[in-house]
Amino acid sequence: MSRSETVWIVDDDRSIRWVLEKALQQEGMTTQSFESADGVLAKLARQQPDVIISDIRMPGVSGLDMLAQIRDLYPRLPVIIMTAHSDLDSAVASYQGGAFEYLPKPFDVDEAVSLVKRANQHAKEQQGLKAPVDQRHTTEIIGEAPAMQEVFRAIGRLSHSNITVLINGESGTGKELVAHALHRHSPRSASPFIALNMAAIPKDLMESELFGHEKGAFTGAANQRRGRFEQADGGTLFLDEIGDMPADTQTRLLRVLADGEFYRVGGHTPVKVDVRIIAATHQDLETLVQAGKFREDLFHRLNVIRIHIPRLSDRREDIPTLASHFLASAATELAVETKLLKPETEEYLQNLPWPGNVRQLENTCRWITVMASGREVHVDDLPPELLNQPADAMPSNNWEQALRHWADLALARGQSNLLDEAVPAFERIMIETALKHTAGRRRDAALLLGWGRNTLTRKIKELGMGDSADEDEGDEA
C-alpha cells in the first residue's frame, strides 16, 4: 500500500489551519501545521513534505519570502499560496515567484483539497514517477447515442497517432474527458498529460505559464521555472478554451508548432520539446478568424483533426445511463447508499433542456445524493429549479415538439386530464393569433381558422375571452 501524502499547512490563523487539517486528513493525507514560515524553513533541512500550502502575509518571514527560499533549495516542491488579499498583485507575485497555484480566501474547502491533490500529482510527475491518475479520467466515456459513437470511433482511429486534435463543444459537454481519453489511448499514455485553461490564466502570466521563465527575467523571478510545454515533454499538452488565447501568445504558439522549440521568457537558448497538442474551445474559431480575433494560420495548424462533442440535449438516450453512473460515483465519494431513479424520473430528466450539459447532470446527481430523502428518487425529489422549467427553455424546433415536451413533463409530474387544460389553451392561442392578424375582424379570423363566424363567437364566450374583438358584422345566415 502506498504511503499517504504529507502536506504542511502554514498560516497564523488557527481556524484556517484546523479546517484544512480536517479536510485533508479525511482524504487520507498526513498533515502538519505551522503558524509561521520560520518553523517551516527550519524543518525543511531535515524533512520535506509532498506539498506546502501557505498564507502569504504572516508575522516574520512572509509566504512569498518563504516561497523564494524553497524555490532555491527545493525547486520540485510544490507550494500553494493563499491569501485574503485576493488582488492581481498578489496573484502575479505568487505565480512569478514559482507558486504551483494561487488560492484566494475565502476558499471552497473542496477546491483546496482538489488543488493539493493536483500539486501532489504534479510533484510526482516532476520526479519522473507515474502519478496515479484521477479516477474521473480512468472511467471510459459513457454514451450509446449515435453522436457519441462518432466520438468513440474518432478516438479509436487516433489511438496510434500523435496528430494534433481540435475538440469543439459547448461548456460542460466533456471536452477535457475526451482529451484525457485521446492521451490515454495514445503512444504517449505513459508520459505526462498537462492541461491549461486559457480563460483561467491572467494575460500577463500566459507566456510564462506556457513557456516558463529564466531567473531574473522579471521582478520576482527568483528562479528558473519550467513552463507547461517542458512539463509535457514526451506527452500531451491540452490547451482548453484556445479561443481565449491572446494574439501575441498565438504568434508564439504558432512558432512552437512549426519549429518544435521555443525560448523561455527572458531566455536566449532555444528549448526543444516533443509535445502533442490537443486544443479545445466552445467558440466558433472560424468566426473568430473572420473577425480577426484568431490567427488563421494557427487555426489551420490546430484544425488537423476535429472532434465535435454533442450537447446533452442531442443525446437524450444517454441520460439514464449517465445519471446512474454519476449517482453511483457520488455515493462512493460520500460513503452513502446509491440513489435509484424511478422510471418516471428518468423520463422527466430526459426531457429537460440541460443548458449546462453533462456537468449540470453530474452536479444534479450530487445534489440528489445529498438531498433526496429516500433511496428511490421521485420527480418531486429533484432540485426545485428543474421542476418548473421556463417556457423559453423548451425545445422550439416546431410546435409539435414543444407540445410533446409539455405533455411528457406534465405526465412525469403525475398530472391527469391533460386535454382539459391543453385544448382550451390551444384554442385560445389560435383565436388570439387569428384576431391579431385580422385586426379584430371576426369573420376574417373565422375564415383563417376554418370556422364559421357563429362558431368563433361561441368559442370566445366559452373561453371567457370577453367582447374585446370588434363586432363588426352581423350574424351569418
Same fold, 4-126 and 148-306: yes
What pLDDT was estimated at residue 90? 63
CATH number of 400-461: 1.10.10.60
Looking at residue 411, what is its pLDDT? 76
In this prediction, residue 476 carries a pLDDT of 42
pTM of structure: 0.57
pLDDT tens across 96-133, in order? 678 888 787 778 888 899 999 988 887 776 654 433 44
Give me the sign of the Cα torsion angle 223, 229, 234, 240.
Answer: positive
The CATH class of the 313-386 domain is mainly alpha
Predicted local distance difference test score (pLDDT) of residue 402? 67
Cell 502575479 identifies what position?
92
Specify the residue for cell string 474521473: 136
> Can you tell me the distance from the alpha carbon of 262 to that of 291, in angstroms, rounded to the nearest whole number?
28
pLDDT of residue 164: 95
- Please name the fold of domain 148-306: Rossmann fold (3.40.50)
Predicted confidence at residue 18, as pLDDT, reads 94
**Does the bond joining 106 to the residue before it have cis omega, within 30 degrees of 0?**
yes
Residue 333's pLDDT is what?
87
CATH for 4-126? 3.40.50.2300
Contact 209, 201 (CB under 8 A): yes
| Helix-helix angle 418-437:453-462, to 10 degrees | 130
Query: What pLDDT was estimated at residue 171?
Result: 92
Domain ranges of the chain: 4-126, 148-306, 313-386, 400-461
Residue ranges, the chain, pLDDT below 50 = 1-2, 86, 128-139, 390-395, 468-471, 473-477
